[in-house]
Amino acid sequence: MTAQELYRRLKQELERIVRLHHLNESPIMLKSRGLSPEEAIGNTRRKDYPILAGKEIMLQAQFGSALGQAFTDAPSDFCGTLDDVLALDPENDPHSRGLLVATLNAVMRHTGDIDHTVHCRNDDLELCAEACAAHIREHFGAPRITLIGYQPALTARLSREFPLRVLDMNPRFVGDVKSGVTIEHGETGYRSAVLEWSELVLCTGSTLCNGTFVNFVGIGRPVIFFGISGAAAARILHLPRFCPKSS
């Protein structure tokens, strides 16, 4: 699957849901906006989350009373209809990708197809990391893990128990040592850390918004997608997702 095929598939699924539930007959408008760091994740013990560094924005879409979120580095405030979203060009426009992902999460939450589309806050980020370690231990033993997308609580917790490598695209983090792990570049470290070394990949769903999500589908080893961005895509593509503390 290419990135272009992925975005086409997501748009087709949104079109199907709109037809199935007659959502195009509803006067409800879709609204989306970027959240402040405090709105998105609250007051966290760790202060080096990407959203606090200003690299990413949490985009929140609302359809009816349902909320859908997505992390993106190309946010857009938006107010319009589902037809307006379906007219966007996520294949070529990064701003459109965030809108499509957040919208699909909100709409599928509205229809009851998914849940856990709103990010956890405050101390729940640390509790999520504990739950993730327990989940991996129970289902995979003690694998070599490659974490895609630097996440401070996950990095700190997983590095205490598992062999860990971390990839990220943000030059602010690449080369830094976090919890004893050197952050590697997401492109140059991909083959070594993902395809050759890892026994399990833990991948942020925000890769949907930067176009690299497809690099972690069908790669011949287990992949778990974490976070709220990938809620709808994981359901559509039948991919495992772990996001225990979101709401």
Residue 133 falls within a domain, yes or no?
A: yes
Position 77 scores a pLDDT of: 74
For residues 110 and 66, the answer to whether their CB atoms sit within 8 Å is yes
| Tokens linked to 208 | 């949907």
Identity of the amino acid at 28: I
Q: What is the pLDDT of residue 37?
A: 56
In sequence order, what E strands does 140-217 have? 145-148, 164-168, 177-178, 181-185, 200-204
Please identify, among 110, 140, 156, the residue that sits at the C-terminal boundary of a domain.
110
pLDDT tens for the chain, 247 residues: list them.
899 999 999 999 999 999 999 887 654 455 555 555 556 555 655 555 555 455 567 888 888 899 999 888 766 677 888 888 899 999 988 888 989 999 999 999 999 999 999 988 788 889 999 999 999 999 999 999 999 999 999 999 999 999 999 999 888 889 999 999 999 999 999 999 999 999 999 999 999 988 999 999 999 999 999 999 999 999 999 999 999 999 9
Looking at residue 42, its pLDDT comes to: 56
- Specify burial of residue 196 (Cβ count, 10 A radius: 0-12, 13-18, 19+): exposed
Residue 116 lies in a domain: no
Compute how many other C-beta atoms are within 10 angstroms of the C-beta atom of residue 111. 16
Residues 184 and 207 in one domain: yes
Q: Cα 9 from chain centroid?
A: 17
233 and 129 within one domain: yes
Contact 114, 68 (CB under 8 A): no
Burial of 219 (C-beta count, 10 Å sphere; 0-12/13-18/19+): middle
In a shared domain, residues 177 and 101: no
- Same domain for 128 and 54: no
- Write down the pTM of the prediction: 0.88
The residue from 67, 84, 110 where one domain ends is: 110
**Res 73: pLDDT:** 76
Q: So what's the pLDDT on residue 83?
A: 87
Of the three residues 51, 75, 110, the one that is the final residue of a domain is: 110
Residues 153 and 198 in one domain: yes
Indicate whether 203 and 164 sit together in one domain: yes
| pLDDT computed for residue 14 by the predictor | 95
CA separation for the pair 116, 235 (Å, rounded): 12
Q: Which of 120, 126, 174, 182 is nearest to 154 (CA)?
A: 126
In a domain, 115, yes or no: no
One domain for residues 165 and 202 = yes
| Sequence-ordered list of residues with C-beta below 8 angstroms from that of 108, at least 6 positions apart, any chain | 17, 68, 114, 117, 231, 232, 235
Same domain for 136 and 206: yes
In a domain, 247, yes or no: no
Single-letter residue type at 100 = L
Domain assignment present for residue 17? The answer is yes
**For position 27, what pLDDT does the model report?**
46
In a domain, 119, yes or no: no
Same domain, 101 and 129: no
- 135 found inside a domain: yes
The answer to whether the beta carbons of residues 96 and 88 sit under 8 Å apart is yes
- pLDDT, one tens digit per residue, over 228-241 is 999 999 999 999 99
Sign of the four-CA dihedral 101, 44, 37, 212: negative
CATH number for the domain including 231?
A: 3.40.50.11590
Range of the domain at 229: 124-242
Q: Are residues 129 and 232 in the same domain?
A: yes
Q: Let me know if residue 14 belongs to a domain.
A: yes
Residue 53, pLDDT score? 52
Q: Are residues 103 and 156 in the same domain?
A: no
Residue type for 8, please?
R
Count of the separate structural domains present in the chain: 2
pLDDT value for 146: 98
Nearest by Cα to 37 from 81, 75, 85:
75
Q: Are residues 79 and 135 in the same domain?
A: no
